[in-house]
């Protein structure tokens, strides 16, 4: 049955560059399964301070060669103007036309971020150097960036990224749809019209989710946290419950005109496909 959501919506999926040959082989299988959904793009992260930049480049080029757009992450941290200029030229030579521009996190022990302090400076540099050669995606934080002193400062930081030339935004993951709707409404009130795509994190392990959420400032609502705690170490029960929770979140977002969904896959296809099957984005056999 054809989904009522598919025609106006865009899917995208995030990977991290594999560290081993086994990981690379596994990612190829994951990519093949998710590519059947014809997503708008696959994004590829890199480690703190650009520590996996070469592997990010290799992964991006490999994905791009398969026929679906790849979008590498670029970070301010540990970056120089000359270094970013070289990377942009290399990506452009390989046919890459999408970039996810981020401030990034300082690795432990690093005192200076580099020549770019904030993501808006990186976006502005990319536009100055390359014009409209790249579609630039930036990060958004419906529940406020964990290092921002308050919501107004965080929103103004986001607005500067848009004014610098961002084409679209991908949010940090969340489980409270109202946070997304409030943020989107605030953007509209302030004349920000770029697509704000919700970031979606499937729930597969409570301990992992709790650790990630602590680091990135994503809120786990009390009711959800308590339910997951009750499930203990029953991984199958956690996955089934998490699938239903995230499916309903996605359904609510799509019904309220979210422009698409961006899945943080953790280099796994199963949890994401299960949610999309519930939403009728793909057949059961995918």
Set 14, 121, 124, 143: catalytic member: 14
Tokens 């992260």 belong to which residue?
45
14 catalytic, yes or no?
Answer: yes
SS3 annotation, the chain: CCCCCCCCCEEEEEECCCCCHHHHHHHHHHHHHHHCCCCCEEEECCCHHHCCHHHHHHHHHHHHCCCCCEEEEEECCCECHHHHHHHHHHHHHCCCCEEEEECCCCCCCCCCCECCCCHHHHHHHHHHHHCCCCEEEEEECCCCCCCCCCHHHHHHHHHHHHHHCCCEEEEEECCCHHHHHHHHHHHHHCCCCCCEEEEECCCCCHHHHHHHHHHHCCCCCHHHHHHHHHHCCCHHHHHHHHHHHHHHHHHHHHHCCCCEEEEECCCCCHHHHHHHHHCCCCCCCC
- The catalytic residue positions are 14
């Amino acid at each position: 049955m054809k989904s009522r959501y598919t025609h106006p919506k865009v899917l995208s999926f995030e990977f991290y560059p594999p560290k081993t040959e086994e990981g690379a082989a596994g990612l190829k299988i994951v990519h093949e399964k998710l590519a059947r959904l014809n997503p708008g793009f696959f994004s590829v992260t890199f480690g703190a301070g650009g520590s996996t930049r070469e592997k990010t480049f290799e992964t991006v080029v490999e994905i791009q060669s398969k026929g679906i757009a790849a979008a590498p992450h670029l970070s301010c941290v540990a970056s120089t103007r000359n270094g970013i200029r070289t990377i942009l030229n290399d990506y452009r030579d390989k046919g890459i036309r999408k970039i996810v521009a981020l401030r990034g996190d300082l690795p432990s022990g690093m005192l200076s971020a580099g020549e770019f302090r904030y993501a808006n400076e990186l976006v502005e540099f990319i536009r100055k150097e390359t014009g409209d050669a790249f579609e630039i995606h930036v990060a958004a934080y419906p529940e406020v960036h964990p290092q921002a002193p308050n919501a107004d400062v965080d929103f103004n930081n986001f607005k500067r990224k848009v004014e610098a030339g961002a084409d679209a935004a991908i949010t940090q993951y969340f489980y409270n749809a109202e946070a997304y709707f409030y943020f989107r409404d605030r953007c509209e009130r302030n004349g920000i019209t770029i697509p704000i795509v919700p970031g979606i994190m499937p729930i597969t392990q409570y301990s992992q989710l709790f650790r990630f959420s602590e680091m990135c400032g994503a809120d786990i609502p009390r009711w959800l946290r308590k339910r997951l705690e009750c499930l203990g170490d029953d991984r199958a029960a956690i996955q089934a419950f998490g699938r239903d929770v995230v499916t309903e979140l996605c359904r609510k977002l799509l019904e309220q005109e979210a422009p698409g969904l961006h899945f943080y896959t953790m280099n796994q296809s199963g949890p994401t496909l299960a949610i999309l099957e519930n939403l009728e984005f793909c057949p059961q056999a995918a």
